[in-house]
A and B are shown apart, each in its own frame.
Chain A
Amino acid sequence: MDTDAALAGRLATDLEAGFPGLVEAHRDRVYTIALRLLGDRRDAEEVAQDALVRAFRAMQGYDRARIAALRLRPWLASIAVNLARNRRRRADDRRPPTQLEPLLDAGFDVASDGRRGPEHQADRRETQRELAVALLGLRPAVRAAVVLRHVDGLSVAETAEALGRPEGTIKAQVHRGLGELRAALETSPPPTPAPTSTRAARLMPALEAIR
């Protein structure tokens, strides 16, 4: 993106002066990526902040040419995905298997849409909640591909770069992810989508509980 190239140029010239601009431009998407991968607001807040700080520290070690050449969107996404993955590993060790909170706290700050009626908004909110929960049921690798490609809106090439996987793999994972999301949303009630992992299986009772 042009604005990102300009931002990288400013960071290369003066990292400290340019960094607030990076925070302003990327904090929402880094937070969104973390939230949709983890499903917990507090974890997402920490991961997003940590990702921005790590980006700053990494750039402190880079020379100007390297900073200027950074493709900020996929680069920051890859930092957020890696931190979220580490956080999830720790969380899996820590949390009891049927913890409800990560699902209930799925984070919907939908900007109010004054042009539509409250019923429409309630519907939309419910759909989004189901979709966010279904995302958390995807296998982590598939979930990351879907979140970067369609929630964050990276291109296939950028998603491949951020996740360090070939474009063909990304396309297949996104395709598979969309199929599983569709199945999860259409199969209700009762919610019996085939669990794609033991984690998804664990989430089922919780998913049921909030419907």
Chain B
Amino acid sequence: MTTAMPLTDAALEAALAELRVAAPPSVGAGALVAAGLADRYAPIDTPLGRAFVAWNGRGVSWLGQAADAGSFESRFRAEIGREIEAADAVPAHLAEAIGRRIGGDRRVRIPLDLRGHTPFEVAVWMKALEIPRGEVRPYGWIAAEIGRPKAVRAVGSALAHNPVPLVVPCHRVVRSDGLIGQYSMGGPDAKRRVLGSEGLDTAWLEAEAAAGHRYTGSDTTHIVCHPTCRDARRVTDRHRVTFPSLAAAAGAGYRPCKHCRPVALAA
């Protein structure tokens, strides 16, 4: 109860100096994460099963599958070069935003931390974000849209290095010959599965491509689209016409759709 201490100024000052305490580890670790100098990660459910997502104060930095947390961590460190630490869960607002994005809601904003990637790669990924759920565009379309029409291979390479697959829907970009193409999150079969989960009939898409039907037009509007464009999907069988090239469509008097903006592609 009563404290028998000699309360000289010196004693009081010494006692005050003893009120110093060590910060809990979360203070320093949290500051580094908030500043974007370290990341946290947690598991997340996706249409392709369980994956891991990493984030920091600047945004989502990585999403990927891994056999276990340890291999996700070592992959992250190797690719991104920052420290990473497991979190209990993805913050609720981020989990909700990612879920809605993957579910096709393009209005929801997800901050992405894309530092360390080239401006070209970022331009490719930002363009892929414009492709609606359940639709696909060829690599060459992205190349043309970002003003680098000859950089088709580089577009493919940038998409293969997409650090946030599903959030940035690189699965909606297919080969210029209409074949399904590669996919970083598990190959062509996984790509078919995630496109299927968005309501796209990939068997139909691949059959059309194999038959050489690269573009779809309507003989009532004389507008030509990519086959998966929502405008093309509305055309009834009776009025649907297909073209092997944009030149053939132009020759028949068709103008390109303003929504899906088809471009002439090297065969």
Of residues 1 through 38 on chain B, the ones whose CB sits less than 8 Å from some CB of chain A are: 1-3, 5, 7, 9, 12-13, 15-24, 26-28, 30-32, 34-35, 37
CB of A21, distance to nearest CB on chain B (Å)? 11
A206 at the interface (CB under 8 A from B): no
Contact of A188 (CB < 8 Å), options: B3, B16, B21: B3
A151 at the interface (CB under 8 A from B): yes
Q: Whole-angstrom distance between the alpha carbons of A205 and B26 in the complex?
A: 33
B57 at the interface (CB under 8 A from A): yes
Tier of interface size on chain B: 20 to 34
User: Do A128 and B37 touch across chains, with their CB atoms under 8 A apart?
Assistant: no
Q: How many A-B residue pairs have CB under 8 A?
A: 102
CB-defined contacts of A98 to chain B, threshold 8 Å: none
User: Do A23 and B7 touch across chains, with their CB atoms under 8 A apart?
Assistant: no
CB of A52, distance to nearest CB on chain B (Å)? 4
User: Do B9 and A211 touch across chains, with their CB atoms under 8 A apart?
Assistant: no
User: Do A127 and B31 touch across chains, with their CB atoms under 8 A apart?
Assistant: no
Q: Which 4 A-B pairs have the closest CB atoms?
A: A31-B23, A52-B31, A150-B16, A53-B34
Q: Please name 16 pairs of A and B residues whose Cβ atoms are closer than 8 Å in the assembled complex, sorted by A.
A: A19-B35, A19-B37, A20-B37, A28-B22, A32-B21, A32-B23, A45-B23, A49-B34, A52-B35, A109-B22, A110-B18, A127-B5, A131-B16, A151-B19, A178-B13, A211-B1
User: A residues touching B (Cβ–Cβ < 8 Å)?
Assistant: 16, 19-20, 23-24, 27-32, 35-36, 41, 45, 48-49, 52-53, 56-57, 107-110, 124, 126-128, 130-132, 135, 146, 150-153, 178, 181-182, 185-186, 188-189, 211
User: B residues touching A (Cβ–Cβ < 8 Å)?
Assistant: 1-3, 5, 7, 9, 12-13, 15-24, 26-28, 30-32, 34-35, 37, 57
